[in-house]
Structure formats: C-alpha cells, structure tokens
Structure 1
Amino acid sequence: MSTHDVDPSAIRRFASGRRAYGNLKDEAADFIRDAIVSGALPPRSKVDQDEIADTLGISRAPVREALIELAQKGFVDAIPRRGAFVAEVTAEDIEDHYEVVALVSGMTAKRAVKRLTPAELAELRRLHQQIAATGDVAQIQALNRRFFHVIANAGRSPRLDTILRFLGGALQGSFYFDAPGWVSNEATYRGRMLDAIEAGDVPATARISEEHVRSCAAVTAEHLRTRGYWPGAA
C-alpha cells in the first residue's frame, strides 16, 4: 500500500473555527471524517494521532477511539504496527454502498405508504414546503434528514432503521453532502416521493425511493471525479 504525506499546516487550517464538542471521541471522529471528505486528509495519507490531538487540544485516547470507529465504518484502514491510513474509496465501492441502501430504503418506503398517519403526511408536506422556503444549506440538510426520517419511522421496522442509520454514517454519505449538486437532487426526489405517497402508490414510492438513492451514487461519483479524487479523473 503506497501512502501519502500530509502537510501539517493543512490540518491546522482545517481546524480553524470549529466548535467544541461535549464528547471528545465524537469531536475527533467528526474532525477526521470532515478532513477526509474535504481533501485535507487525502486517500492513503497517514492519520497522525499526535497531530490531531494537538490540533484539537485533547489527549490521544479519544483520537484512538475515534479511529477505531472510523475504521469500522470504512473511513480509514488500520494497519498493525504502522497506524491508520485514509481509505481509498473506488467508484465500485460507491455503487455497491448505495445499491444496498437503495434496496433497504425501497423496503422501508413500501411499508411507510400503508402506515403513514394523516399527521405524518401533514408533517412531510410542511417539511417539503419549509425546505423550499429556505436557502440555508445546513437547515436544508437537517430538514431533509427529518423528511426521510418520518418515512423511515413510519415503516416501523427497527432493524431496517438501524441498518439505514449505520449506512448513513458511512464515508460515501459524507461525500454526497459535500457535492454541489446534492441540494437540487434531494429537491427533485423529495417532491416525487411526496406525490407518490399522497397518491397511495406503493410500487411507485418504492421505485422512486430506490432511484433516489442510486442518484446519490451518481452525484457522489461525479463530484469525486470533478475534484480529481481518482488519478486521471478531471
């Protein structure tokens, strides 16, 4: 495995202005994840535990805990006696990841159409309208997450919900929300989902749900190619 060195100043610049967390392990995990997505920590680069700890003003212990969690989610590769290195995500990894999410999302959406209450339907309409009325990207992401959470919760399958939550924290999901096209992509599929749900069309809702997730894979891959994440891609 060939590795890359990281300019320490890039990490320090990336840390500037970040808010403090109550949980140090979560703070370290979010910082490393964001550094990977932004490119401050490029693929195959070593994650320097001392540098991360010094930058955040914490001990190495929460950084080690964060790296264990990130290794489990595929953000980093832990190599015995060498340390943790940023995992390189291939186009096939992205496709596989989102294909699994698509299948689970389709199952959840299919159940949700039959079980959504009038109050939940009203909540979906309200969230969709609220998102359309704001230009704040952070608020859009939070409201959009709530919109799909209402659908997932209506499916009332704790196991499927657990799977989706785990997959939602994976590396590829973070890359998606770093892509410029995610806001318009979500608006398109959120509207189609709402129309199908209100029509009570179970097959269409499941199909649109799967198409939505697969579109996330396309947006993510295009973003990484444009950013030059893969050698030879421009």
Structure 2
Amino acid sequence: MLQSTDLSSAIRPSSLHEEVASRLRALIFERQLAPGQRVDEQALAAEWGISRTPIREALKVLAVEGLVTLQPRRGCVVTEVSEDDAEQLFPVMALLEGRCAYEAAQRATDDELAELRRLHRDLELYARSHDTEGYYRANHVFHTRVQTVAGNPWLSRATDQLRVFMRLLRGRQLRHPGRIDASIAEHRVLIDALSARDAPRAQQLMYEHLMEQLAALKALRASEAQAAADDAKRRAM
C-alpha cells in the first residue's frame, strides 16, 4: 500500500538547491538583489542557515537562465539589461507576445476571455490610482495569462526564456511621466480585440504595446541621464 506524503516534512537535501534557486529568483525579480549587485554567498548562507554548497549549485542554475553572471574577482552578480540589450530584446519579445495574443484570440474559451477581462479590470484600478508597483504586478499576470491561453507550448517556451530578462527591468518604463495612462489605453484596445476574437488585430496591438514600452524606457533613461548631467554641472559650479 502506498503511504501518504507528509507535505510538512523537511526538504530533501537533493532538492535544497532548487528551493534556494527559487528564493534567489524571487529576490532578483523583487529587486531585493538589484541589477549589478554581487550575490553574497556567505551572508545568504548565514541568513538561511545552510552551507554555501546549495547556494553555489543554485547560482549555476540561475547563470544558465541568464539571471546572474560570473565576473572575475567579483563572483556572481545579478545580470543588468543594458540599453543595447533592451533595443534588441523588446522587438523580439514584441513578436513573441504578438503571436501569443494572436493564438489566444483564436483559442480562448468564453471563461478564459472573462478571466482576461477581470485581469484587465485589475489593471484599470491600479492605473486609476497611479500605483506603479501594483500595475507592474497586474500587468505581468495579464501578459503571462495571455501566453497561457494561447496554448502553444513551443511559443511559451521561447517567451518564458525572454520574459526572465523583461522581469529584470521590473517595469522601469512605467516611471516615465504619462506611461501608465498610455499603457492602460493600449490595454483597453487590446482586450477589446481579444474579446472580439480578432486575432490579427490583437497581434498587432500587442506588438505595438511592447514597442511603446521600449520607447518609454528609452525616454526615461534619456531624462535620467540629462538630470544626472545637470546635477553634475550644478555641483561643479
């Protein structure tokens, strides 16, 4: 007779590095480990009450995923998405997410469309209060759900791999003045196209939505660079 599994039991040593990897991903995606920051293995080992071995094994997994990068004499650092990276990443992600929207519009059930409309209403609430953090989280859920509704495992595989790097940016473009208002307007026409099962229009709107994110990110970075330059001039006077 099979014995029931005790879900409250301690984690098996063989799976410890998997839990550590999961915790590290969460720290990176929540920016508690910021882009460019060194991962302090010793401090984490002390905090979590484990040896450094599972942390090192977990970092190998994250290095393969691209979340951390091994740098000489610094150890593992959280990967940064540069301006050049963003210029190359967003157009590819726009193509993938556009296809997700296309296939979701074709395949979605009535219940799935109702769920997408509910998720869109969450976005509306966060947009109304200009809650950048809440909007970012809700937006991630919405886009991921569109991908799931598309029901294409090969498309999901490719999209998941790149979404990791999108999450490293953590919706920075939403800080650009007026971006949340523009983003929710883009979502409104997108959800209308999905609800109408207009696959070509949904694809085009999703593509444009991602490219507008890139434009906003570039504008934000330019304004930040200008502000830094102006500050440096004031200090030099």
Q: TM-score w.r.t. structure 1 length? A: 0.69
User: Does structure 1 retain, via aligned residues, the 8 Å contact 2:59–2:68?
Assistant: yes
User: Does structure 2 retain, via aligned residues, the 8 Å contact 1:75–1:87?
Assistant: yes
Farther off after superposition, 94-103 or 115-124: 115-124
Residues 1:154 and 2:146 are matched in the alignment? no
Residues 1:119 and 2:111 are matched in the alignment? yes
Distance in 2 between the 1:225 and 1:154 partners? 36
- Give the match's secondary structure for 2:175: coil
Matched-pair identity in % = 28
Which runs of 5 or more structure 1 residues have no equivalent in the other structure?
1-21
User: Does structure 1 retain, via aligned residues, the 8 Å contact 2:136–2:170?
Assistant: no
Residues 1:203 and 2:200 are matched in the alignment? yes
Deviation of 1:232 after TM superposition, in Å, equals 6.8
**1:111-157: CA deviations, max 9, x gaps?**
22222222222222222223323556665444433433342223220
Higher helix share: 2
Q: 1:145 aligns with which of 133, 140, 158?
A: 140
User: Does structure 2 retain, via aligned residues, the 8 Å contact 1:175–1:220?
Assistant: no
Distance in 2 between the 1:163 and 1:124 partners? 22
Residues 1:175 and 2:175 are matched in the alignment? no
Within 5 Å, give how 1:21-40 maps onto structure 2.
Answer: 23-32=19-28, 34-37=31-34
Give the equivalent residue in structure 2 for 1:216.
213
Residues 1:187 and 2:184 are matched in the alignment? yes
Change (3 A) 1:232 1:139: closer
Q: Choose 1 or 2 for highest CA Rg.
A: 2
* Paired positions, count: 205
User: Does structure 2 retain, via aligned residues, the 8 Å contact 1:110–1:202?
Assistant: yes
- Give the match's secondary structure for 1:160: helix
Farther off after superposition, 114-123 or 133-142: 133-142
User: Does structure 2 retain, via aligned residues, the 8 Å contact 1:49–1:60?
Assistant: yes
Which runs of 5 or more structure 2 residues have no equivalent in the other structure?
1-17, 232-237
User: Does structure 2 retain, via aligned residues, the 8 Å contact 1:29–1:63?
Assistant: no
Give the equivalent residue in structure 2 for 1:90.
82
**1:147-204: CA deviations, max 9, x gaps?**
333422232201111222222222x423132452564454232212112223343322
C-alpha RMSD of matched pairs (Å): 3.3
Give the equivalent residue in structure 2 for 1:14.
none
Change (3 A) 1:233 1:27: farther
Distance in 2 between the 1:112 and 1:35 partners? 33
Farther off after superposition, 145-154 or 129-138: 129-138
User: Does structure 2 retain, via aligned residues, the 8 Å contact 1:225–1:233?
Assistant: no
Q: TM-score w.r.t. structure 2 length? A: 0.69
**1:87-132: CA deviations, max 9, x gaps?**
4432121121122211111122112222222222222222222332
